[in-house]
Amino acid sequence: MLSIKNLQARIEEKEILKGINLDIKPGEVHAIMGPNGSGKSTLASVLAGRSSYEVTGGEVEFMGKDLLELSPEDRAREGLFLAFQYPIEIPGVSTTNFIKTAVNETRKYRGEEPLDAVQFLKIMKEKMKLVEIDQTLLSRSLNEGFSGGEKKRNEIFQMAMLEPHLSILDETDSGLDIDALRIVAEGVNKLRDGKRSFLVITHYQRLLDYIVPDFVHVLYKGKIVRSGTKELALELEEKGYDFIKEELGERVDA
Amino acid sequence: MSEMLNTLEQTALSDYKYGWVTQIEADEAPPGLSEDIVRFISAKKKEPEWMLEWRLKAFRQWQKMEVPRWPNVTYPDVDFQSIKYYSAPKQKKTINSLDEVDPELRATFEKLGISLDEQKRLSGVAVDAVIDSVSIATTFKEQLAEQGIIFCSMSEAIQEHPELIRKWLGSVVPATDNFYAALNSAVFSDGSFCYIPKGVKCPMELSTYFRINAAGTGQFERTLIVAEEGSYVSYLEGCTAPMRDENQLHAAVVEIVALDHAEVKYSTVQNWYPGDKEGKGGIFNFVTKRGICAGIHSKISWTQVETGSAVTWKYPSVILKGDYSVGEFYSVAVTNNHQQADTGTKMMHIGKNTRSRIVSKGISAGVSQNSYRGLVQVAKNAANARNFSQCDSLLLGDQCGAHTFPYIEVKNNTAQVEHEATTSKIGEDQIFYCNQRGLDTETAVALIINGFAKEVMNQLPMEFAVEAQKLLAISLEGSVG
């Protein structure tokens, strides 16, 4: 589904990704962990096509297409979804209206008829249950005045509505209390159907108790320095990131 | 962001889709302005002596007046002697019914999306259409007449209802009010008149469509709305013009009178040709609009969506004379490329317990300049006056300007006047978020600006809200890359 080969990227003059290799197959859940500043969020932004990052080398294939050649909106329409770490507010645009526009733009791209209001509301009702999101929240301006938990839940709700092939969750757990975390994770788990894939970016192991990954990768200084199964996350939790640094032969200050 | 700005510099305004010229023979006055021309116009319209005198008085005053220089706009001086002040589509005979309107004209209306037949049958909106300077047809007249509502062209009103015209014309905007109002008073060739009798709620939206067609002409229409005690009317005007390299002058006057407990809602969707992307051509839109809440508990509400014109200069205002009267002003002004707009309102609180509300949303793109200018005045005896003003500006790119000039004059210490203002930019992060959900940048910008302008758009009559939303998007097409 997603194949990243030697991906390098920078922002302004600063090299951040220094050769990422990663393969994600349909139905797999991959977790990317790593200390602050290792390039986790940059990877998410580059895959989604944020223009402030410049790709300086490497290849990315997504669903058989050259991802880096596609505009951000076409990447989305091809089924790549990014749940933002900091979801953006758009005053005056109701969440419902926003999602309806998003769903219908994607349908148009795929040559499908737009959903009418009745069809849309029917699907919306189903997906609302999935992430335990409230109707009143969806009538409000997109993310405006939402709590941290509401914003994240809204991201997962949009994900459910758009039914992407690959969902990238960029530190979705940050700023969530344990209940919100559980709801968000359950929402994701209900979307796991053996075909959809997930790339879960997180700083802490905690989220992975709820969304159990097939693979865990450690990103450090712009490279994946270790890959393993979910046990790797537990090991990281126990020993901290320092043991990775030690393994890499770096001096760790006590 | 820099990529967005570069594209912004390079991109042009989308095609102005109302830019055609209708090939209709016109009956015109020679260019220039003199007493003779004023007499010519009055004679053409077979006006009574009192009307001619009214015009001449305005003309003589106008000659002594100076072009206003205080708005925050710059444009070449208008050569008033090169403009044709009268241009009427030539018609073979008097029109008795819609079916007799020149087919070319009918086609024009259809292009404008206001097929008169359609309007008549389906939408329940009564339309008065003014091409160049002359009112062409008023639909629905008979149905309205059954309730005593008068909705006709100004020319017809002068002939048929002289007592009403003599009483109200110039009562809100005096013939010599300002430079352009005086000019309008001297040479106006048509417009709409609307009279709602006591206690009548007008059952449909009334609408006027203005179109400048002939080259080298100015358009000077005059609209008068009188709402008698306890009556209600909602009125909408729309306007378009052909694409021409020259600037054309539009100097209209709108007067509204609301008596005790009457309510008038006046909505404008202004889409005159804005000029090309280099700033060549386009309409100079210098308009005086004023309403008076003459009676107690009366209400006047202005809603405007301003997307067209090269230069706009207008301040729909309300004189709150009656106790407990209410004035409202809701505005969205969009400027792109070289457009300039200096627009806002005046709320003059004279009566006790009067209230006013101002919501202004300015959207600037390209190298345009967009100014809000508003005056809230509370007179000495206007006890307990309340005003709330909100002026929000949205910038697209970094070469356009947004300016706010709020003036507050309060002479009664029981008044409460609030003013809030914000300026924001469409952020790259907002666009990217939308892109990531499958919206292309154009769609994203349209969504964001419609969200920004929502409070005003919600005030528009349902029939026109959708059209106005599309218009906003079209006006800004290509302004973010």
What per-residue confidence (pLDDT) applies to B248? 80
Q: Is residue B9 part of a domain?
A: no
User: Could you give the CA distance from residue B455 to residue A13 in angstroms, rounded to a whole number?
Assistant: 43
Q: A162: which chain B residues are within 8 Å (Cβ-Cβ)?
A: 437-438
Q: Looking at per-residue confidence, does B135 or A69 come out higher?
A: A69
Q: What is the DSSP letter of B304?
A: E
Give a yes or no: residue A152 inside a domain: yes
List alpha helices for B174-218, DSSP H: 179-187
Question: For residues A38 and A224, what is the distance between their CA atoms, to the nearest angstrom?
Answer: 10
Does B164 reside within a domain? Answer: yes
Q: Which residues sit opposite A65 in a β-bridge?
A: A62
Contact B309, B334 (CB under 8 A): no
In angstroms, the Cα distances linking A251 to A220, A232, A240, A246, B226 are: 15, 22, 15, 7, 86
Tell me which chain B residues have a C-beta less than 8 angstroms from the C-beta of A141.
Answer: 451
Contact (CB, 8 A) for A99 and A161: yes
Which helix (H) or strand (E) element contains residue A180? helix A178-191
Q: Is pLDDT above 70 for B126?
A: no
Please state, rounded to an integer, the average pLDDT across all residues of chain A: 91
In a domain, residue B467? The reply is no
Residue A159 counted as domain residue: yes
Query: Which domain, by its residues, includes A127?
Result: 70-216+228-247
Instruction: Check A50 against B432: CB less than 8 A apart.
Output: yes
Q: Is residue A4 part of a domain?
A: no
Substitution target in A93, A100, A142, A143 with the highest count of B β-carbons within 10 Å is A93
- Check residue B289 and give its pLDDT: 96
pLDDT single digits (tens) B384-419: 999 999 999 999 888 899 999 999 999 999 999 999
Record the tokens describing residue B128, joined without a space.
């008065």
Domain that holds residue B46: 19-426
For A51, the closest of B3, B430, B450 (CB atoms) is: B3
Indicate if the pLDDT at residue B102 is higher than 60: no
Q: Which residues of B406-432 are buried (b: 16+ CB within 10 A; e: fewer)?
A: beeebeeeebebeeeeeeeebebebbb
The contacts of residue A81 (CB under 8 Å, 6+ apart) are: A158, A159, A162, A164, A166, A167, A168, B436
Do the Cβ atoms of B436 and A87 come within 8 Å? no
Paired residues of B395 in beta bridges: B364, B425
Confidence of residue A130 (pLDDT cuts 50, 70, 90): confident
Dist CA B328 CA B419 (whole Å)? 14
Residue A134 pLDDT greater than 60, yes or no: yes
407-446 in chain B: CB under 8 A from chain A: 427-430, 432-441, 443
Inter-chain residue contact B448 with A90, CB threshold 8 Å:
yes
Chain A residues within an 8 Å CB radius of B428: 51-52
Residue A158: which of B3, B437, B452 has the nearest Cβ? B437
CB A130 within 8 A of CB A190: yes
B453 found inside a domain: no
pLDDT confidence of B200, banded at 50, 70, 90?
very high
Average pLDDT value for residue range A153-174: 93
Q: Look at B319 and A180; give whichever has higher pLDDT.
A: B319
Is B430 close to A88, i.e. CB distance below 8 A?
yes
| Cα Rg, chain B, nearest whole Å | 22
Is residue A119 in a domain?
yes
Chain A nearest C-alpha distance from B430 (Å)? 6
Query: B386 φ, ψ to 5°?
Result: -130, 135
The answer to the question of residue A86 being in a domain is yes
ipTM: 0.95
Is the pLDDT assigned to residue A48 strictly greater than 70? yes
Is the pLDDT higher at B463 or at A21? A21
- The residue of chain A with its CA nearest to that of B429 is A88
Q: How high is the pLDDT of residue B215?
A: 65
Which chain A residue's Cα is nearest to B452?
A: A92
Name the residue of chain A whose CA is nearest to B457's CA: A92
Average pLDDT of the segment spanning B185-201: 93
- pLDDT-based confidence at residue B120 (cuts at 50, 70, 90): very low
Q: How confident is the model at residue B108 (pLDDT cuts 50, 70, 90)?
A: low
Which residue in chain A is spatially nearest to B438 when comparing CA positions? A73
Query: Which residue in B436, B447, B454 is closest to A101 by CB distance?
Result: B447
Q: Is residue A106 included in any domain, yes or no?
A: yes
3-state class (DSSP) for residue B252: coil
The secondary structure of chain B in percent helix, strand, coil, rounded to multiples of 5, reads: 25, 35, 40
Mutant choice from B390, B437, B452 vs A, greatest count of A C-beta within 10 A: B437
Q: Which of A48, A99, A109 sits opposite B436 (nearest CB)?
A: A48
pLDDT digits (tens, 9 = 90+) for A70-114: 999 999 999 999 999 999 999 999 999 999 999 999 999 999 999
> Residue A235 is part of a domain; what is its CATH number?
3.40.50.300
B80-101, pLDDT tens digit by residue?
888 888 877 655 444 445 555 5
What is the number of structural domains in chain B? 1
Question: Cβ B439–A84 below 8 Å, yes or no?
Answer: no
Could you give the percent of chain B with pLDDT greater than 90? 48
What is the per-residue pLDDT across B320-353, written as a single tens digit (0 to 9) for each?
999 999 999 999 998 988 899 899 999 999 999 9
Could you report the per-residue pLDDT of A194-243, keeping only the tens digit for each? 999 999 999 888 889 899 999 999 999 999 999 999 888 888 888 888 87
| Nearest neighbour of B451 by CB, restricted to A49, A81, A92 | A92
* pTM for this entry: 0.82
Q: Helix or strand or coil: residue A86?
A: coil
B372 closest CA partner among B414, B338, B334: B334
pLDDT, position B208: 78
- Comparing B116 with A75, the larger pLDDT belongs to A75
Residues in B closer than 8 angstroms to A107, CB to CB, are none
Q: Is the pLDDT of residue A180 over 90?
A: no
What was the pLDDT predicted at B225? 97
Residues of A within 8 A of B437 (CB-CB) are: 76, 98-99, 102, 105, 158, 162
CB contact under 8 A, B439 and A102: yes
Q: Residue-wise over A148-181: b if at least 16 C-beta within 10 A, else e?
A: ebbbbbbbbbbbbbbbbbbbbbbbbbeebeeebb
Partner-chain contact A91 B451, CB within 8 Å = yes
Determine, for residues A72 and B435 on separate chains, whether the beta-carbon distance falls below 8 Å: yes
Q: What is the pLDDT of residue B9?
A: 34
Residue carrying structure tokens 């952020």: B427
Helix intervals (H) in B342-481: 428-436, 441-452, 454-457, 462-475
Number of domains in chain A: 1
Give the model's pLDDT for residue B152: 87
Q: Which two three-digit tokens encode residue A194?
A: 């053996």
Among A157-166, B2-11, B346-355, whose mean pLDDT is lowest? B2-11
In chain B, the residue whose alpha carbon lies closest to the alpha carbon of A78 is B438
